Amino acid sequence: MRIAVVTGASSGIGREFAFQIPKLYKNLDELWVVARRTERLRELEDRLGLPVRIFDGDLNRDYIFERIEKELYRRRADIRMLVNSAGYGKAGRFGTIDAKEQLGMVSLNCQALTKLTQICLPYMSRGSRLVNVASAAAFAPQPGFAVYAASKSYVYSLSQALRRELMTQGIIVTAVCPGPVDTEFFQRSGTLPGSFKKAAKADVSRVVRKALKDSAAGKGVSVYGPMMKGLWAASKLIPYSLTTRILKKTNHIE
């Protein structure tokens, strides 16, 4: 059974992947979607011209991975694409953010992504795509968004390393690194630090279209828009000691 697996499919970037993947990959038998809000996932069933298998559950808990693993085995799944999009951020000075939220970010953005990738890899083969949604926040440490940016640096770094490792098996890995995108992300994050707040929010369908195009082209990183591309280039040249000094000022961290 040829499938694509998308986490965070109930909203924003993940949901958009769920919409766009069947249009691009016509030979899939099913789309497997993961998130906590069941109703939102059910809505996808009505809107997609492809059977949808729902995994409604919390990626910070073990049971959801057990369910997915069991189904992968039972259906003899051939994963053509895995999109790890579930994630969240909390903005603010480190000491002001609830410890549960800080650790929740690490758990969902890093641990759950790693765990699902590990479970899915045995079911991926030549031509399969792994798409990890990181962020432009991955490019440099972010005073005022510290844990989130660090968690996304992890996703970015992991993706680049896996890309090398899996190349010989013909599996393509792409890290998607958008700046602000117009989604529900900001309802949970609170007001972003100054440097990000100023950037216009990108249209989610465009960001995902580019990500799928970049993945199809075999690119290792997908960055949408000239501003974020500029930041990416700058981050390779400017040392962290200077970036953090600049960001501390622009993010108004006293």
Q: Enumerate binding residues for ligand NAP (CB under 6 A).
A: 8, 10-14, 35-37, 40, 58-60, 85-89, 108, 133, 135, 178, 180-181, 183-185
Angle among Cα 183, 95, 236 to the nearest 5 degrees reads 60
CA torsion sign for 140, 145, 147, 149 is: negative
User: Least distance (Å) from ligand NAP to the CB of residue 244?
Assistant: 20
User: Least distance (Å) from ligand NAP to the CB of residue 249?
Assistant: 22
User: Least distance (Å) from ligand NAP to the CB of residue 233?
Assistant: 18
Q: Other CB atoms closer than 10 Å to residue 145's CB: what's the count?
A: 27
User: What is the per-residue DSSP string for 141-204?
Assistant: --TTSHHHHHHHHHHHHHHHHHHHHHHTTT-EEEEE--S-BSSTHHHHH-SPPHHHHTSPPBPH
Q: Which is nearer to ligand NAP, 28 or 181 (CB)?
A: 181
Two structure tokens written together for 87: 């994630």
User: Least distance (Å) from ligand NAP to the CB of residue 25?
Assistant: 20
User: Least distance (Å) from ligand NAP to the CB of residue 28?
Assistant: 20
Query: What is the spatial distance between Cα 210 and Cα 222, in angstroms, rounded to a whole number?
Result: 7
Q: Which is nearer to ligand NAP, 87 or 143 (CB)?
A: 87
Q: Which is nearer to ligand NAP, 1 or 221 (CB)?
A: 221
Q: In the chain, helix, strand, coil percent, each to 5?
A: 55, 15, 30
Q: Which is nearer to ligand NAP, 7 or 243 (CB)?
A: 7
Q: Which is nearer to ligand NAP, 78 or 182 (CB)?
A: 182
The kind and range of the H/E element at 237 are helix 226-237
